[in-house]
Amino acid sequence: MKIALFGGTFDPIHSGHLSAAMAAQSAFALDEISFVPTGVPPHKRARTVTAFADRYAMVALACNDVPHLAPSRLEDPEHHGGEPNYSIDTIRRFHQQMADDDHLYFLIGVDAFLDIPTWHDPVALLDSCDFIVVSRPGFEIGKINSILPAVLRSEQPLQENRIDLRRTSVHLLTTVEADISSSNIRQRSAHGESLTGLVPQPVADYIKKRNIYAQDTYAEKN
Ligand code: ATP
Ligand code: MG
């Protein structure tokens, strides 16, 4: 099986995440894409992140009845005693439950990929599995070469949509053009604006019912 892990805060999941997942699914014939909401996101401690249970519930609603997409509790904080969890640990944990002929990809947007040098153990992370990097408006996919740790680069000639590292490959998927972010959705929601078309309708209904983004903090800054 070809399986991708798609990590994120998903606060909330939105149609940009779904476009990225669908594009990767069809380009790489993925059997499964696991959406992995982060438990305690190491990069986002500056603001209050919505409870894991709510973010997971919204991911589950968005994946419901969509072929190949599934929610994952791999980073459920209840399993990690509230400790921060790093992507490299999640990938290692996932490897342990994979069959020998499974192939794992890590799906990620270009904005997040450009941040990888600041993540925990980037070299081990990039050594651990293949990556699929999707385009995102406002971020230059051409920059990803420059952030790759020199030690990982291989002597292979550069491919158009693939960078071969010493053990893994980074695949570039440049067709995604979804100008949408969770920050913007939180802001719209706090102002009482419609979320139609930005998140699946069951997710919009859930946000409304649970009044998730109504706090003043969301209306101001995020
Ligand atoms: P926030 O505004 O809170 O940062 P976000 O919209 O960036 O939220 P995240 O949960 O931070 O969503 O992102 C999870 C993953 O999805 C990251 O790899 C990110 O690059 C990717 N992603 C998010 N939105 C898009 C988009 N519109 N197009 C392509 N990739 C995206
Ligand atoms: Mg983000």
What does 70-123 look like in DSSP terms, one character per residue?
Answer: EE--TT-GGGTTT----HHHHHHHHHHTS-TT-EEEEEEEHHHHHTGGGSSSHH
Helix, strand, coil distribution of the chain in percent, nearest 5 = 40, 20, 40
In tens, the pLDDT along 185-213 reads 999 999 999 999 999 999 999 999 999 99
Is residue 28 within 8 Å of residue 6, measured between CB atoms? Answer: no
Q: What is the mean pLDDT of residues 40-56?
A: 80
Pocket of ligand 1 (CB under 6 A): 8-11, 16-17, 20, 108-109, 111-112, 134, 136, 176, 178, 180-183
At residue 71, φ and ψ (nearest 5 deg) are -80, 150
Q: What is the mean pLDDT of residues 33-59?
A: 86
Tell how far the Cα of 109 is from the centroid of ligand 2, in angstroms: 9
How far is C-alpha 124 from the chain's CA centre? Answer: 18
Q: Answer whether residue 41 shows pLDDT above 80.
A: no
Mutate to test the pocket of ligand 1, among 19, 59, 111 (most ligand atoms within 8 A of CB): 111
**DSSP at 72:** -
Which two three-digit tokens encode residue 83? 């400790």
Per the model's pLDDT, the better-predicted residue between 75 and 82 turns out to be 75
In tens, the pLDDT along 97-143 reads 999 999 999 999 999 999 999 999 999 999 999 999 999 999 999 99
The ligand 1 atom at the shortest distance from the C-alpha of residue 181 is 6
Tell how far the Cα of 112 is from the centroid of ligand 2, in angstroms: 7
pTM: 0.95
Which two three-digit tokens encode residue 51? 């409870």
Distance in angstroms (rounded) separating the CA atoms of residues 50 and 57:
11
Distance in angstroms (rounded) separating the CA atoms of residues 16 and 184:
12
Beta bridge mates, 163: 170
The ligand 1 atom at the shortest distance from the C-alpha of residue 38 is 10
